[in-house]
Structure 1
Amino acid sequence: MTTEHTDVVELLKEQHARIRHLFDEVVNTRGEERKQNFHDLVRLLAVHETAEEEVVHPFARTNIDGGELVVKDRVEEEEQAKQALSRLDDMDPDSPEFLDRFAVLRQDVLAHAENEERYEFAHFARVADRGRLETLARAVQAAEALAPTRPHPGTDTALKNAVVGPVAAVIDRTRDAVRKAIG
């Protein structure tokens, strides 16, 4: 999916495209296939948002004009999505209530991705050279490799992720392995 010379904006936009695709897959499937697609979406969103909170947002806060306010708005959107994902994770993916709530989540997450691309990522090329953006991409990938695979509302900063993240990641990855083993 990515090469070692991908910059952070390219990487995150690729992930946004994958997220859009997984939203479509959840809507267009049923039963076990929908459940698996939803699980894949939750995992991608969890690791993606954690990496943004640990790498991307701190960079934006300190390097783009109005970065603190831009990031504050994105973090609020992310927190709402984490809460919605947590509620959906306990529901039957084939229930009408799940699909109604999922439609709202989809709209919110896709608007969030557009906001990130417009108000945050679009400014990165002006404040950093290609090498710096490639370094940020590698940092995002490293953060994702260690990130929790489930949403954890309330862990919306690098510091909170550093405190809760490692324990949550072990628990989440254990749950993922058990889920995979039992089918």
Structure 2
Amino acid sequence: MSDVTEDLKKASELPEGDVVRILLQQHAGIRQLCSTVANSEGPAKRQAFDDLRVLLAVHEAAEELVVHPVTSTHGGELLAKALNADEKEATEMLARLEEVGVESPEFDETFPIFQIAVEQHTEEEERVEFPLLLSTIDQTSRHMMGKRLTATEFVAPTHPHPGSAGSMPKQLATMPFHSIVDRVKDALSRS
């Protein structure tokens, strides 16, 4: 099982802007937020879950559009399909957790299962996908992928959308609408 410190150490060994570095840093953030949600109560738990929801929503959408297609092209077609399926399942669970709310007993029963699924998914990416990218994609191309990943995350939806998760064509077709709706929803919830 990887941890936040290990992810950040691995990330620091890669050049700034490298897509794998960015993803490792995000995995560290995801792990940290999962731990915070699991060990918090009240407003702190709500804030940590909101932060986790946003990070996961934009992270998974960007991976599906930028990273997994490259993985598929470089010999990891089955891996990319499996990762997209995992992301769809996690998105469905995240949507359910958001729906029931952090105050619900169902949230506390379901979150540990969700956390395990997220951990297994990130470990699979770190164990299989990231080494594939590092061994088959040159540093300049990984840097360009990092730029595309960051740009995609900037416009990605901030809430889970299970109907489009796991499918690049569905993501491309629905992302603009979902992103606008999500960002308006977020702005209204802060006011």
**TM surpasses 0.5:** yes
Change (3 A) 1:47 1:5: same
Answer yes or no: is 1:36 the counterpart of 2:62.
no
118, 133, 140: which one aligns with 2:142: 133
Partner of 1:23: 34
- Listed one character per residue, the Cα deviations across residues 27-49 of structure 1 (whole Å, up to 9, x for unaligned) are 12111111111011011000000
Give the residue type in structure 2 aligned to 1:54.
L
C-alpha deviations, 1:114-139, integer Å up to 9, x for none? Answer: 00111211111211111111110110
Give runs of aligned pairs for residues 72-151 of structure 1, distance below 5 A: 72-151=81-160
Which of these residues, 50, 66, 69, is aligned with residue 78 of structure 2?
Answer: 69
The worse-fitting range, judged by mean Cα deviation, of 13-22 and 127-136 is 127-136
Q: Which residue of 1 aligns with 2:5?
A: none
What is the deviation of 1:14?
A: 0.5
- Tell me the residue number matched to 1:167: 177
**Which residue of structure 1 aligns with residue 188 of structure 2?**
178
Paired with 1:45 and 1:121, the residues of 2 have a C-alpha distance of 18
Determine the C-alpha separation between the residues in 1 that align with 2:53 and 2:18.
24
How far does the alpha carbon of each residue in 1:58-81 deviate from its partner, in whole angstroms, 9 at most, with x for none?
110101x2x110011111111111
C-alpha distance in structure 2 between counterparts of 1:97 and 1:154, whole Å: 22
Letter in 1 for 2:43: E
Aligned with residue 54 of structure 1, among 49, 52, 65: 65
Distance 1:160 1:92, change over 3 A: closer
Q: Residue 61 of structure 1 aligns to which amino acid in structure 2?
A: S
Higher relative contact order (CA 8 A, sep 6+): 1
Q: Which runs of 5+ in 1 are unaligned?
A: none
Give, in whole Å, the separation in 1 of the partners of 2:181 and 2:137.
Answer: 36
Deviating runs (4+, > 4 A) in structure 1? 1-4
| Residue in 2 that maps onto 1:9 | 20
User: CA-atom RMSD, angstroms?
Assistant: 1.7
| Partner Cα distance (2:128, 2:154) in 1 | 26
Question: Partners of 2:28 and 2:179 in 1: how far apart?
Answer: 24
Further displaced range: 171-180 or 24-33: 24-33
Confirm whether residue 152 of structure 1 aligns to residue 161 of structure 2: yes
- Identify which range, 152-161 or 68-77, moves more after superposition: 152-161
| 3-state secondary structure, aligned to 1:154 | coil
